[in-house]
Each structure stands twice: as structure tokens, then as C-alpha cells.
């Protein structure tokens, strides 16, 4: 499971690496870190663990297993994926990612499966308890229940929402057959509208009705730290080095891990 690329010339990559390993805050955004764990069903061991570092308008998502880094370079309109085991890198433009999501939405709208139709244009009933910081988005097909915390600033809320939207779309590109991203986009909008960030998210859903119905639950935990520690800055600097030395490959070759 993943929780959601031709490359620029070498000189441009070196410039990019140098620019993102400097100051931890500038006028375009703030710096913060979010540690994420995802659990499926009643599992006590997380299926996904990652650390996401926000550095101005560049975001670094470090996946524990398989060891992989996703860099969201908003200024250049791209995602860069780095496979730390094979020491290869690839790139996807945000245009390619958004175009695929748009096509998927058009396709889902034409399907006879009611669950797919719902996923194309999900509609939720929202409830928000401001005092408890609890947010719920409910429907017959899927329900999100979130425990939230206030964002330290409007800038942080914007940065988190922007990355989360794009990462939801990216996940669809990286995992053919996965759910369309539009339900998650609704959740991100509900959080951003209230200036909140998730601390825990519980997703309960079913894809069938009647006797074939099977409910699936996914729970995620998120721990936010404003500002970056020295270790975070070291990780970002190391990614800058990886960008210059990893071998560039096509997106298709990058995804074909078995053949390598």
C-alpha cells in the first residue's frame, strides 16, 4: 500500500537541491513535520509508516517500507520519486497526475456500479463539534470520522491541504485500480475550511450492498511538529544529494520493480 516521474537537466537539479536545503522558512510557506501511521482493520501493527516534511512550498514524504521518497516540487509542477533501494529516480508532472484523475472521474460517472458513481462525485453530510475538534463526513457508502487539531497558522493549513490534495491524486496514478481521490478531496476541503489538521482519521466503507456487503475500516494517526529539527534538515539535504546521483528512469520502468 502506498499513501500518496523525464527529469530536468543536471544543472537544474543541482540548483533545486541547493535551494531546498537552506533556510527552514521563507515568505512562501512555513516548515513543519508530520509523522503518519496507517492501520487496516483491527491490525495493531501499522501497514504504512511515513514522515512528511514541509519546507516552504516543497514537500518531502519519506516512506519507511519500501524505502522511498516522494518530493512534491510545487514550483516546478512535478513529483519526483526516489527508490532508495535501487537508487533510481523518476518524475511525474502535476499536469499528468491531474489529467489522469479527470479522466478517471469521467469514466466513473458512466459506470453502472453505484459505488463507482458515488466515488466520482461523493456527497457527504458533515458534522463538526468545534469544542471537541471532531469532524464527521458521512454517507451510505463511506464515512470519515476525524479528530482534529487547530493549524498553527493559515499558511500551514494551506500547505497541508495543497499537498494532501495532490498526494491523493498521485496515489491514484501510482496504484491502478485504487479508489478515485475525490472523497479524500472533500475531507481535505472540510479540514481547510475550518483551519484544522487531522490527528486521527477513521474511514469506514463498503463497496457492495446486501449480502455481499463487506465493511472495511482504515485508521490513520498523524503527529504534527511545527518547525524542523536538525535531523529533518539533514534528511532534506540528503535528498538533494540523491537527486544528483540517482539514475533517471521512465515512470514505467520505475514502477516495474520486479524486473529490476
**pLDDT tier for residue 12 given thresholds of 50, 70 and 90:** very low
Q: Is a pLDDT exceeding 60 seen at residue 2?
A: no
Q: What is the pLDDT of residues 27-54, one digit of tens each?
A: 468 999 999 999 999 898 999 999 999 9
**pLDDT tier for residue 209 given thresholds of 50, 70 and 90:** low
Higher pLDDT, 23 or 211: 211
With vertex at residue 168, the alpha carbon angle to CA 84 and CA 232, rounded to the nearest 5 degrees, is 45
Residue range 202-214: mean pLDDT, rounded: 73
The C-alpha atoms of residue 206 and residue 131 are separated, in whole angstroms, by: 30
The C-alpha atoms of residue 17 and residue 258 are separated, in whole angstroms, by: 29
The C-alpha atoms of residue 8 and residue 19 are separated, in whole angstroms, by: 15
Closest CA to 37 of 198, 226, 214: 198
What local confidence, expressed as pLDDT, does residue 258 receive? 52
Q: Is a pLDDT exceeding 80 seen at residue 3?
A: no
Closest CA to 84 of 229, 222, 241, 234: 241
Are 16 and 243 contacting, i.e. CB atoms less than 8 angstroms apart? yes
What local confidence, expressed as pLDDT, does residue 56 receive? 82
The C-alpha atoms of residue 221 and residue 214 are separated, in whole angstroms, by: 24
What local confidence, expressed as pLDDT, does residue 213 receive? 62
Cα-based distances in Å from 215 to 43, 56, 141, 204: 15, 39, 9, 7
Ordered by start, the domain boundaries in the chain are: 10-255
Residue range 205-232: mean pLDDT, rounded: 84
Helix (H) or strand (E) holding 184: helix 182-193
Helices and strands of the chain, counted as H and E runs: 7, 12
Q: Is a pLDDT exceeding 50 seen at residue 17?
A: no
Q: pTM, whole model, 2 decimals?
A: 0.85
62 φ/ψ sector (left φ>0, alpha ψ -120 to 50, else beta):
beta
**How big is the chain, counted in residues?**
260
What local confidence, expressed as pLDDT, does residue 176 receive? 86
Q: What is the pLDDT of residues 140-153, one digit of tens each?
A: 999 999 999 999 99
Q: Is a pLDDT exceeding 90 seen at residue 211?
A: no
Residue range 171-179: mean pLDDT, rounded: 90
Amino acid at each position: 500500500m502506498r499513501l500518496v516521474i523525464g527529469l530536468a537537466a543536471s544543472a537544474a537539479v543541482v540548483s533545486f537541491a541547493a535551494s531546498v536545503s537552506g533556510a527552514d522558512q521563507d515568505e512562501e510557506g512555513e516548515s513543519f513535520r508530520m509523522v503518519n501511521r496507517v492501520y487496516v482493520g483491527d491490525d495493531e501493527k501499522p501497514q504504512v509508516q511515513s514522515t512528511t516534511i514541509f519546507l516552504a512550498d516543497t514537500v518531502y514524504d519519506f516512506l519507511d517500507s519500501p524505502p522511498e521518497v516522494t518530493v512534491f516540487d510545487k514550483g516546478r509542477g512535478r513529483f519526483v520519486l526516489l527508490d532508495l533501494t535501487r537508487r533510481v529516480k523518476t518524475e511525474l508532472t502535476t499536469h499528468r497526475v491531474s489529467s489522469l484523475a479527470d479522466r478517471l472521474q469521467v469514466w466513473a460517472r458512466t459506470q453502472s456500479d453505484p459505488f463507482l458513481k458515488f466515488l466520482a462525485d461523493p456527497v457527504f453530510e458533515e458534522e463538526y463539534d468545534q469544542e471537541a475538534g471532531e469532524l464527521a463526513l458521512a454517507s451510505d457508502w463511506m464515512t470519515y470520522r476525524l479528530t482534529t487539531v487547530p493549524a498553527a497558522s493559515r499558511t500551514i493549513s494551506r500547505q497541508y491541504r495543497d499537498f494532501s490534495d495532490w498526494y491523493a491524486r498521485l496515489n491514484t496514478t501510482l496504484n491502478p485500480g485504487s479508489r478515485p481521490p475525490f472523497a479524500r478531496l472533500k475531507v481535505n476541503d472540510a479540514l481547510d475550511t475550518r483551519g484544522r489538521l487531522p490527528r486521527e482519521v477513521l474511514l469506514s466503507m463498503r463497496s457492495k450492498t446486501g449480502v455481499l456487503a463487506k465493511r472495511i475500516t482504515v485508521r490513520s494517526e498523524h503527529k504534527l511538529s511545527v518547525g524542523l529539527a536538525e535531523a529533518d534538515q539533514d534528511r532534506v539535504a540528503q535528498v538533494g544529494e540523491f537527486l544528483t546521483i540517482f539514475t533517471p528512469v521512465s515512470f514505467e520502468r520505475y514502477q516495474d520493480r520486479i524486473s529490476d
